């Protein structure tokens, strides 16, 4: 109910702003606007595919509020943004992660890190966060990170005394790092919609990523102290150092992908292509490459890319209609004129995203709300790069927020032993609290995100 209230409030503000702006929409009665709000809630509440819901809402809004022949431009408005060169990075990063999973590199990564963390309070739970963090640096997708590391890690826990809620919660939290740690796909989409530098977003995400990882580690450390488990036998330092060899392929991939982006040698799209080439080379070197493996990786990539692409198409239709009607600009002017400090408006925006994330998929949140919210944020004087990091963190929280977090259901479906979904819900709550704390810290200390991009320029 809180989420619905926030959503209704946002659209009511939009309606008031438009109706008081003196634009062409102001001449229309409140009935069509109320109908549009009702349809929005109905479509998403009924579980209609997000791409279809966005496209249909855009067409209805166009017919209800405009007398322009906008249908003549639908093909062009969809074709232009979806053929953007930056967007090519999305399937390439996904393909790289799929090849890594099938080449066994993620399993090597987990086993190597486990040698170093298993005797720390919290044990294997630390390995979940650490391995997910490293894999996120070459995956770019939270769902892919959670699915990959879940497939690798869950077998390790089936004969241990670890509580299932914390095991699943730590894997969900680790998966939530997939979009925040560069090269997150959400940054690419945000940069495309707002015309913000993707490279600057990647650089800005480094500090907040480290903050979130440290907070997750603190949660697990505190849990390990409260619920100690028998410590495994001590592993000689020589064995630990030898195990680091399993990290070499992943480290090289990270260096190729992020190194070329941060040094300016390649764009995110070009670095993604280099990453795919390197992943194929490692699969050949490990002896796991086959045409069947490559075909399965390509099919999985095509499935996810089609899902993302259709959502973008529907969102661009809706965004074009709203932009033509002046809704984002009017809303920004209205909210910016409210007699409250900018940070109060930003706190309300963050609360809106937290509420929206309880019933709406994270990627859909970006493409649906950013065109309306972004002009408002700029009118308040906030840095677009900083806001890109904040909204990406909020999307990640949405992906692990009960009852509709996508990552939660991915992990529930991967459990080898039957158990209630409430195990995942219960286990992820401490990590959601830590993530929200990270957002609050970033609001208080924005330099955590802005310092590095300023130095790197």
Whether the model clears a pTM of 0.85, i.e. scores above it, the answer is no
How is residue 390 written in tokens? 């904040």
pLDDT of residue 446: 92
What secondary structure letter does DSSP report for 233? P
| Residue whose entry in the numeric block shows the structure tokens 């009665």 | 29
pLDDT of residue 9: 39
Residue 322, C-beta contacts closer than 8 angstroms, at least 6 positions apart: 58, 61, 328, 371, 372
Question: Considering the domain boundaries, does residue 432 fall inside one?
Answer: yes
**Which candidate, 344, 374, 410, 108, places its Cα nearest to that of 249?**
108
Inter-residue contact 190 to 388 (CB < 8 Å): yes
Question: Considering the domain boundaries, does residue 49 fall inside one?
Answer: no
Q: Residue 40 half-sphere exposure, CB side, CA atoms within 13 Å?
A: 19
3-state SS record for 96-151: HHHHHHHCCHHHHHHHHHHHHHCCCCCCHHHHHHHHHHHHHHHHCCHHHHHHHHHH
Q: How far apart are the C-alpha atoms of 457 and 448, rounded to whole Å?
A: 16
Structural domains counted in the chain: 1
Question: Considering the domain boundaries, does residue 319 fall inside one?
Answer: no
**Which candidate, 140, 174, 147, 139, places its Cα nearest to that of 279?**
139
Q: How far apart are the C-alpha atoms of 309 and 8, rounded to whole Å?
A: 27
How is residue 376 written in tokens? 């408002």
Domain span holding position 158 = 85-313+339-457
Question: Considering the domain boundaries, does residue 64 fall inside one?
Answer: no
Q: How far apart are the C-alpha atoms of 92 and 89, rounded to whole Å?
A: 5
Per-residue tens of pLDDT for the chain, all 457 residues:
334 433 443 444 444 444 444 444 444 334 445 566 666 667 666 656 666 777 777 777 777 666 666 666 677 667 766 676 667 777 887 788 788 778 877 778 888 888 888 778 888 888 889 888 888 887 777 777 787 788 788 887 877 778 888 989 999 898 888 888 887 888 888 888 888 888 899 889 999 999 999 999 999 999 888 887 777 777 777 777 777 777 888 888 888 888 887 777 887 788 888 888 988 998 888 888 888 888 988 888 888 777 767 766 776 777 677 666 666 556 556 666 667 788 888 888 888 788 776 656 666 677 777 877 888 888 888 999 999 999 999 988 888 888 667 778 777 777 767 778 788 889 999 999 999 999 999 999 999 999 988 886 6
Question: Considering the domain boundaries, does residue 75 fall inside one?
Answer: no
Find the DSSP H helices in 176-290. 185-194, 198-204, 206-226, 237-243, 248-262, 268-285
């Amino acid at each position: 109910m809180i989420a619905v209230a926030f959503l209704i409030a946002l659209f009511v503000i939009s309606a008031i702003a438009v109706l008081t702006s003196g634009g062409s929409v102001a001449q229309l009665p409140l009935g069509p606007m109320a109908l549009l709000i009702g349809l929005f809630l109905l479509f998403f509440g009924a579980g209609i595919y997000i791409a279809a819901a966005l496209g249909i809402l855009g067409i209805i809004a166009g017919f209800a509020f405009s007398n322009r022949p906008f249908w003549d431009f639908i093909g062009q408005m969809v074709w232009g943004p979806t053929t953007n060169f930056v967007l090519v990075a999305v399937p390439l990063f996904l393909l790289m992660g799929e090849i890594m999973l099938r080449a066994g590199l993620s399993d090597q990564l987990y086993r190597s890190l486990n040698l170093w963390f298993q005797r720390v309070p919290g044990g294997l739970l630390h390995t979940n966060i650490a391995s997910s963090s490293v894999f996120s640096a070459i995956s770019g997708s939270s769902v892919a990170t959670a699915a990959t590391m879940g497939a690798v890690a869950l077998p390790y826990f089936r004969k241990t005394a670890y509580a299932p809620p914390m095991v699943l919660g730590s894997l969900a939290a680790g998966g939530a790092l997939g979009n925040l740690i560069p090269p997150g796909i959400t940054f690419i989409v945000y940069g495309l919609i707002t015309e913000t530098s993707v490279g600057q977003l990647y650089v800005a995400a480094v500090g907040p990523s480290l903050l979130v990882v440290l907070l997750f580690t603190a949660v697990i450390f505190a849990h390990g102290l409260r619920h100690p488990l028998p410590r495994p036998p001590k592993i000689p330092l020589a064995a630990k150092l030898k195990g680091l060899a399993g990290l070499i392929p992943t480290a090289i991939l990270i260096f190729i992908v992020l190194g070329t982006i941060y040094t300016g040698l390649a764009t995110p799209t070009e670095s993604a292509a280099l990453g795919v080439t390197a992943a194929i080379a490692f699969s050949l070197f490990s002896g796991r490459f086959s045409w069947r493996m490559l075909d399965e990786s390509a099919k999985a990539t095509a499935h996810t890319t089609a899902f993302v692409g259709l959502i973008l198409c529907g969102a661009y239709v809706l965004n074009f209609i709203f932009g033509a009607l002046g809704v984002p600009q009017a809303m920004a002017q209205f909210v910016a004129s409210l007699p409250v400090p900018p940070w109060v408006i930003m706190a309300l925006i963050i609360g809106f995203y937290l509420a929206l994330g309880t019933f709406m998929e994270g990627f859909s949140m970006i493409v649906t709300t950013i065109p309306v919210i972004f002009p408002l944020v700029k009118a308040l004087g906030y840095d677009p790069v900083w806001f890109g990091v904040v909204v990406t963190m909020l999307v990640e929280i949405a992906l692990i927020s009960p009852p509709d977090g996508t990552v939660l259901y991915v992990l529930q479906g991967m459990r080898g032993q039957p158990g209630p979904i409430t195990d995942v819900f219960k286990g992820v709550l401490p990590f959601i609290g830590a993530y929200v704390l990270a957002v609050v810290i970033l609001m208080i200390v924005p330099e955590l995100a802005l310092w590095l991009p300023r130095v790197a320029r």
